[in-house]
Amino acid sequence: MAERPPGLVIAAPASGSGKTTVTLGLLRALRAAGVAVQPFKNGPDYIDPAFHARASGRASYNLDPWAMDEGLLATLAAEAQGADLVIAEGAMGLYDGTLTRGVAGHGTSAELARRFGWPVVLVIDVSGQAQSAAAVAHGFASHPDAPPLAGVILNRVAGARHAAMIRPEMDRLGIATLGALPRRPDLTLPERHLGLVQAGEQADLEARIDAIGRFVAEHVDLDALRAAARPGAPGTAGNWPAPPAQRIAIARDAAFSFAYPHLLEGWRRAGAEILPFSPLADEAPDAGADLVWLPGGYPELHAGRIAGATRFLAGLRAHARTGPIHGECGGYMVLGETLIDKDGTAHAMAGLLGLVTSFESRRLHLGYRRAELLAPMPGHAPGTRLRGHEFHYSTILSQPDAALARVTDANGADVAETGSRRGPVTGSFFHLIAEDPR
């Protein structure tokens, strides 16, 4: 097996510290310097990998030590072969994860760093503090579960004097300062309720990433950062996810974009034919498809267009007379009877399931999920146990069909979002990541 490239995990004490901006800046700055960088994302995030791919020119995959077994983690990490460096973006704070262990752990960025032997670069938002930032870094480095700390990047620095107050204390505690980024609110990426505005929706994204890359290159010691990286532990590769059908029509546009790269790549590698179509362009799924798959996304932002997409809806209904359809989260809502938007307007959806959902009174549903299927789901038999997550703000007003699965949170507590089934049509708020090997 070819030697694995060295890697780093870009982590932080908390969400909102600037991990994604720093990660994108590093990917683009290193790429501009002729370094082939393989990006990864820790945890269940279907938005950031698209930004990673744009910044690096290489496909980015999720690495999830709660939902994925060792074989799948090793398989995905092997995509770094041929790269010069791995940059893996963490999730939330370095030690944030579930209370209950999953397949390989609690899902923390620290676990991921230890699993692959990649040192951590800690991005610290130093707004409102000076020498205390070194105490924060020291605490993270001395935690009993700490992976090796490559150093810190100070973010949102007020000026040269501010940085000069922090660096000596970092030096005194033996922590390398790899960079200090001044405050630049103009370089932030636009956000909405589920995270960043998607990469495909930003017309000026290339220019934004270029600017972030130049900014990071100016204020981070890229040579020192590369020198701190270490080769990853290989592990024994397993199998890519198997496709649920041979010819899969999948909705792909701004309303239906939350599909994990590792699932789609696994389907392709097994020889499945992926047939994308756009409901927002009123395209019907391919009539010769064996399966129609509606991923999650933002149907609530486009509910009027979807309700008026007569060719799309007719094509869905026609397919349901002969073959299976599955919807995840946003796709599940569109398979239902009605979607009520944030203004209280009710929009008729496909009506293939009885689900009625509302965004008029938003409530966050977020967390890892286990699902045990009570009925067939495309590619999975009844009784199959799956790992995934749920992330949405919609409220279920009616879910009258038979339950698709028994769904629990990471701690084993039942959740109400069981999914639905009616004939060959299934749907769930559950975003599939992998089968549970246990």
Catalytic residues: 329
Cα distance between residue 207 and residue 173, in whole Å:
38
C-alpha dihedral sign at 59, 62, 68, 71 = positive
Distance in angstroms (rounded) separating the CA atoms of residues 71 and 79: 13
Whole-angstrom Cα distance, residue 188 to residue 384? 42
Q: What's the CA angle centered on 148, arms 142 and 151, to 5 degrees?
A: 90
Q: What is the DSSP letter of 242?
A: P
Residue with tokens 């972030």: 212
C-alpha span between 258 and 55 (Å, rounded):
19
Distance between CA atoms of residues 316 and 404, nearest Å: 20
DSSP symbols for 404-431 = SEEEEETTS-B-S---EEETTEEEES-E
- Joined together, the tokens standing for residue 108 give 């923390």
- Give the whole-angstrom CA distance, residue 307 versus residue 282: 10
Cα–Cα nearest to 380, from 372, 391, 389: 372
The amino acid sitting at 382 is P
Q: Residue 256: what residue type?
A: F
Residues 134-148 as b or e (16 or more Cβ within 10 Å = b): bebbbebbeeeebbe
Q: Which of 129, 176, 188, 126 is nearest to 156 (CA)?
A: 126
Q: Provide the β-strand partners of residue 386.
A: 371, 435
Helices marked H in 303-371 — which ranges?
303-307, 310-320, 330-335
Residue type (1 letter), 57: G
